[in-house]
Amino acid sequence: MNEDASATARALMARLTPGTPQPALSAEIERCPCPEEARAGMYLINGEWERAHKACQDLPSDTAAYWHALVHRHEPDYGNSKYWLRRVGDSPVHQRLLKAAEEAGKLELVAPEGSWDPVRFTDRFAERAHDGWTRKLDALEMEALLEQSFKP
């Protein structure tokens, strides 16, 4: 992606607010000159899980599979989400989440063995989706994955 396209995509991302659908942004997301994985993520962050699902479900990358897992987590279809998370395996995103959990003193809730467990976090999300810390970590995961979506 060229520098202009990257700047356009990042300016659009800055206007997204997790959990607050902004229908006016849908057309901009659709026109965004960005990787399809990033488009899927922006749709999900914009509260459009069906469009996010359509954007990522047939893409072959691990990043797309990770978005697919998050789409199902937000649907909610936790079993399907965990299936996709197992397919993804380890991700660079996990280190950022692990650090955030450690800094919050909540490592034992999501990584009792010392490594990030995305399936365990999905279980926590299923049980405590409205908990402030769980929502914050979910938003951080999407932010980190969106950044990952722009990497080759």
Query: Rounded CA gap, 21 and 150, in Å?
Result: 22
**Tokens 């990787």, located at residue:** 35
What is the rounded CA–CA span in Å between residue 135 and residue 6?
27
Cα–Cα distance, 151 to 90 (Å, whole number): 16
- Predicted confidence pLDDT, tens digits, the chain (152 residues): 567 667 777 788 788 877 678 888 999 999 988 999 999 999 999 999 999 999 999 999 999 999 999 999 999 999 999 999 999 999 999 999 999 999 999 998 889 888 999 999 999 999 998 889 999 999 999 999 999 998 87
Among 34, 55, 52, which Cα is nearest to 149's? 34
Asked if the peptide bond before residue 152 counts as cis, ω within 30 degrees of 0, the response is no
> Hey, where are the domains in the chain?
3-149
pLDDT at 91: 96
pLDDT confidence of residue 7: 77
